[in-house]
Structure 1
Amino acid sequence: MITAAQMRAARALAGIDQKTLAERAGVSLPTIQRMEASDGVVRGVVDTLMKVIQALNEAGVELIGENQPSERGGRGVRLRAGAGPNPQG
């Protein structure tokens, strides 16, 4: 779905802090902090994850899954396979 690193990067691209993301998503600040502090894929209540993803989308960020093309073009960030602190080959 979404990794903690993607979530942090998406928030940075949107230029918003954790509190603003929490407010826009309608979730608590500790929820955002917990999500961003997790390792790998963010786990949690699906409804909460969807709210966060929607808030990021509304902020203009397109989350791109592994091996998924970007449908809308524009600027973005993608981590190369095998790169980063927890390479997944």
Structure 2
Amino acid sequence: MAELDQEEMLTSAMIRAARGLLGLDQAGAAKLAGLSQRTISKLEAEDDLSSKDLRRRNALKAIRSGFEKAGIEFIFPDEKSGQGVRIKLASK
């Protein structure tokens, strides 16, 4: 997994969308990421998930890693498109 930088920062909406695609509630997402349900709830409720503090950066890395292992692909904004979340195709 790439290091988190400002261009590849998860947003609250991306976390909620990834949960929805996997059919997980906040407790299930927390288990997947190895975090508390309270942490997931707090992050989803925030408008700005900038990674200024180490605990937040580590939580976002854990969430991203857990969701990616479960088959989620995060799409980050570039000059052609905005952010998104999708399920990866299974490898053949």
Pair in the same fold by TM > 0.5: yes
Alignment of 1:7-86 (within 5 A): 7-41=15-49, 43=51, 45-67=56-78, 76=86
Identity, in percent, stands at 35
More strand by share: 2
Higher helix share: 2
Q: Give the alignment's TM-score, normalised by structure 1.
A: 0.69
* Structure 1 segments unaligned to the other structure (5+ residues): 70-74, 78-89
Q: Aligned pairs, how many? A: 72
Scaled by the length of structure 2, the TM-score of the pair is 0.67
Residues of 2 paired with 1:62 and 1:36: CA distance? 18
Classify 1:20/1:29 alpha carbon distance in 2 versus 1 (closer, same or farther; 3 Å): same
Structure 2 unmatched runs, 5+ = 1-8, 88-92
